[in-house]
């Protein structure tokens, strides 16, 4: 089925079967749930720690990094990596994020005379450069002497294609066995893309080994490779998708945009200068807007877990369908701890959520200080397509106008 039709087909099923429904995909049984209490029962705790069947299709790429590993391996890695996202460490990342936000502004500056800008491609480099520099210690600027030689654009294209192939495969049960899939045209293409990723990964690992980071010594070259791919996957697409939808909504809600700018005037010591961590924490209204956007457009629309006790089935948890598009429901949903979970919840929640929030706040601050966003695409024009991440079939356009240009 066409991926857009498939997405809306699932939305229809979710609306019809309010609590859960069951799918049989060849040998795989899947229960789809979207009720906060049921979700809590599955993801609160480590009993159902292993990820569901659809993740198998991204395993050739992410291997046993933090997103896909389970049991002791996951637990040890999670413990080892968690301190890297401690509040004090995040503080050090702020300078890197601000530097990359300035680069983002420079690229947007070129758009000021344009009647419409396709924002998604422009918003990709910012989180990608940021995650590489903070989590990997590698600068991706083309001019940088440390930049991996393999084209960054090629790397990004490969990641997207791999996601599409995984969705293609998930819909075709006869392609589930590896030996069948590997013989197909898509299987062969996937192999080529994995080579591009592998070459990029090797370059990053080599650079890191030159730096002899303590954590790297503990997890070894293979472990670093797994986490390079995992953090590149987890840390860039999600944030760029989140920012795309935030900017779409802000362009379509001028009063909200003005209120955020008022808040910036109140909170910031210097409207044009660097932002302190204390100031970021005071941007409460902006944070609510970001959260509202994550509610309407969660960058990861669904997650899955294996239930391998007695029943042997996969549970898919619809983050997107937790709430209807009605604000009254959102208020109710937030009363329940598992009613609003764009970063998932429980022990396998998103390790990078505070990092992502800081990144999004700094990006929104930088962009709104310089530009007024005007609507071109309306949320009503968008069709979502089935993927591991939430993607719009059509480009999302916004117009950038200098905020203080006469």
- Where do contacts with ligand HEM occur on this chain (CB under 6 A)? 51, 66-67, 78, 131, 135, 230-231, 234-235, 238-239, 242, 299-300, 303, 342-344, 348, 350-352, 355-356
Q: How far is the CB of 124 from ligand HEM (least distance, A)?
A: 13
Nearer to ligand HEM, 7 or 340 (CB): 340
Q: How far is the CB of 66 from ligand HEM (least distance, A)?
A: 4
Nearer to ligand HEM, 14 or 230 (CB): 230
Nearer to ligand HEM, 31 or 135 (CB): 135
Q: How far is the CB of 69 from ligand HEM (least distance, A)?
A: 8
Nearer to ligand HEM, 257 or 344 (CB): 344
Q: How far is the CB of 238 from ligand HEM (least distance, A)?
A: 3
CA distance 257 to 400: 13
In sign, the C-alpha dihedral spanning 160, 163, 164, 165 is positive
Q: How far is the CB of 56 from ligand HEM (least distance, A)?
A: 13
Any known ligand binding at 350?
yes
CA distance 150 to 167: 26
Residues in a beta bridge with 303: 317
The closest alpha carbon to 69, from 299, 196, 229, 236, belongs to 229
Please report where in the chains the tokens 């609160």 appear, as a residue.
Answer: 44
The closest alpha carbon to 249, from 389, 105, 384, 382, belongs to 382
List, in order, residues 6 or more apart from 134 with CB less than 8 Å away: 93, 96, 97, 355
List, in order, residues 6 or more apart from 313 with CB less than 8 Å away: 28, 29, 30, 31, 306, 307
Nearer to ligand HEM, 225 or 342 (CB): 342
Nearer to ligand HEM, 126 or 400 (CB): 126
Nearer to ligand HEM, 61 or 111 (CB): 61
Q: For residue 51, what is the DSSP state?
A: B
Cβ 66 vs Cβ 74: under 8 Å:
yes
Nearer to ligand HEM, 260 or 350 (CB): 350
Tokens linked to 237: 């697409």
The closest alpha carbon to 397, from 107, 117, 124, belongs to 117
Residue nearest to ligand HEM (CB): 352
Q: How many Å from the N-terminal Cα to the C-terminal Cα in the chain? A: 50
Q: How far is the CB of 49 from ligand HEM (least distance, A)?
A: 9
Q: How many CA atoms lie within 13 A of 223 on its CB side?
A: 14
Q: How far is the CB of 78 from ligand HEM (least distance, A)?
A: 5
Q: How far is the CB of 376 from ligand HEM (least distance, A)?
A: 23
In sequence order, what DSSP letters do the residues of 167-207 get, joined into one string? HHHHT-GGG-SHHHHTTSHHHHHHHHHHHHHHHHHHHHHHH
Annotated binding site for heme: 350
Binding site listing: 350
């Amino acid at each position: 089925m066409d991926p857009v039709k498939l997405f809306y087909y699932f939305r229809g099923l979710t609306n019809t079967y309010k609590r859960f429904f069951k799918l049989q995909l060849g040998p795989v049984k899947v229960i789809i749930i979207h009720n906060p209490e049921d979700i809590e029962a599955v993801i609160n705790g480590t009993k159902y720690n292993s990820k569901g069947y659809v993740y198998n299709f991204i395993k050739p790429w992410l291997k046993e990094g933090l997103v896909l590993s389970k049991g002791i391996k996951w637990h040890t890695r999670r413990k080892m990596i968690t301190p890297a996202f401690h509040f004090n460490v995040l503080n050090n990342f702020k300078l890197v994020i601000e530097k990359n936000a300035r680069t983002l502004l420079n690229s947007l500056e070129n758009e000021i005379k344009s009647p419409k800008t396709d924002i998604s491609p422009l918003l990709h480099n910012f989180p990608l450069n940021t995650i590489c520099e903070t989590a990997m210690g590698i600068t991706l600027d083309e001019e940088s002497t440390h930049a991996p030689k393999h084209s960054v654009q090629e790397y990004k294209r490969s990641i997207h294609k791999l996601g599409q192939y995984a969705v293609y495969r998930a819909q075709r049960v006869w392609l589930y066995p590896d030996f069948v899939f590997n013989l197909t045209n898509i299987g062969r293409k996937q192999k080529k893309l994995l080579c591009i990723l592998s070459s990029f990964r090797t370059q990053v690992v080599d650079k890191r080994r030159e730096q002899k980071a303590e954590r790297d010594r503990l997890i070894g070259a293979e472990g670093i490779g797994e986490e390079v791919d995992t953090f590149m996957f987890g840390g860039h697409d999600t944030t760029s998708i989140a920012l795309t939808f935030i900017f779409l909504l802000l362009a379509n809600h001028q009063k909200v945009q003005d209120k955020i700018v008022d808040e910036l005037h109140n909170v910031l010591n210097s409207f044009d200068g660097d932002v302190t961590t204390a100031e970021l924490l005071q941007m409460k209204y902006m944070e609510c807007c970001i959260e509202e956007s994550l509610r309407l457009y969660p960058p990861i629309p669904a997650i899955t877990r294996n239930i391998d006790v007695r029943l042997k089935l996969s549970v898919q948890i619809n983050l997107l369908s937790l709430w209807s598009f009605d604000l009254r429901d959102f208020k109710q949903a937030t009363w329940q701890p598992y009613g609003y979970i764009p970063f998932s919840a429980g022990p396998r929640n998103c390790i990078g959520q505070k990092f992502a929030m800081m990144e999004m706040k700094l990006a929104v601050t930088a962009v709104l200080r310089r530009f007024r966003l005007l609507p071109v695409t309306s949320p009503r024009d968008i069709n979502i397509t089935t993927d591991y991440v939430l993607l719009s079939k059509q480009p999302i356009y916004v117009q950038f106008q200098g905020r203080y240009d006469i």
